[in-house]
């Protein structure tokens, strides 16, 4: 990674797992890293790790299950810097989480849709002025190979719920958003791409699901950093990568009508203006 001094990155879900590895590597490369998480103790530990290695970091707490806290996070970022060069939407919850059954966010939305997708949609839009000010800038949406077409007649899965379906739907929503946002960012100097970082990394999310890890968080971090600072996507946007290789997502991602439906729904749910 080339020296990135004077550049600022925000990594959500950066106090554990692959997000923490990504944050520490960005710090080592010279980025000023804004560390997002929910736990102040883990946040302080991550900041300390980066600073002890000679980097610069700031912890910004927020619970992404609350859209008000997402708005607060965006305000905290704006109070910390006047430009942003890198946004990595990494925070998320898996198929199992801490409780069985369907759960809802603080705003009453299905929890995985809210945390994995809707929070990133809102946060990204709120931070676009800072990203444009930091141009050339990049947005990386950490998605998954686990994808399921969105049922627009029951997006919140009130009729037939499963944690797997909720997770896979939310992850595909991130990719639809990635492709949709590409057109809006043309000419801005900001690119946005999505990826499946690695299969069943040794993370808390995977362990909670009862699955035996198959890959390392370091593998996932390498894949994320490939899109965040690598040359492979220089000037290229709206792509989906399977680890380090450009790939094709679920077909719904390339359906313009589905992307329009999702955008309109997301604007309505977050209260953003089109």
The residues annotated as belonging to the active site are 167
Neighbours of 222 (CB within 10 A): 19
State the Cα–Cα distance between residues 194 and 239, nearest whole angstrom: 6
- In the chain, count of helices (H) and strands (E)? 9, 8
CB within 8 A of 196, min separation 6: which ones?
A: 143, 144, 145, 223, 240, 241, 242, 243, 247
Q: 38-54 b/e with 16+ CB inside 10 Å = b?
A: beeebbebbbebbeeee
State the Cα–Cα distance between residues 86 and 274, nearest whole angstrom: 23
The residue assigned the tokens 């362990």 is 207
State the Cα–Cα distance between residues 15 and 77, nearest whole angstrom: 17
């Amino acid at each position: 990674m080339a020296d990135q001094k004077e550049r600022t990155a925000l990594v959500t879900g950066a106090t554990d797992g692959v997000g923490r590895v990504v944050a520490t590597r960005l710090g080592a490369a010279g980025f000023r890293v804004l560390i997002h998480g929910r736990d102040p103790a883990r946040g302080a530990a991550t900041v300390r790790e980066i600073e002890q290695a000679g980097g610069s970091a700031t912890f910004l707490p927020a619970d992404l299950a609350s859209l008000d806290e997402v708005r607060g996070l965006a305000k905290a970022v704006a109070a910390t810097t006047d430009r942003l060069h890198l946004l990595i939407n990494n925070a998320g919850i898996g198929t199992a989480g801490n409780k069985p059954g369907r759960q809802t966010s603080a705003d009453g939305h299905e929890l995985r849709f809210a945390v994995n997708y809707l929070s990133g949609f809102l946060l990204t839009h709120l931070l676009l002025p800072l990203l444009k000010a930091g141009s050339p800038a990049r947005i990386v949406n950490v998605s998954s190979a686990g994808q399921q077409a969105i049922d627009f007649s029951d997006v919140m899965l009130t009729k037939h719920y499963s944690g797997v379906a909720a997770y896979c739907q939310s992850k595909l929503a991130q990719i639809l958003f990635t492709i949709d946002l590409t057109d809006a960012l043309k000419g801005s100097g900001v690119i946005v791409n999505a990826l499946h970082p690695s299969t069943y990394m040794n993370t808390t999310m995977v362990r909670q699901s009862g699955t035996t890890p198959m890959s390392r968080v370091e593998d996932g971090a390498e894949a994320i950093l490939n899109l965040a600072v690598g040359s492979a996507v220089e000037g290229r946007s709206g792509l989906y990568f399977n680890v380090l290789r450009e790939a094709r997502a679920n077909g719904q991602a390339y359906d313009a009508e589905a992307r329009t439906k999702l955008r309109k729904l997301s604007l309505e749910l977050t209260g953003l203006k089109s």
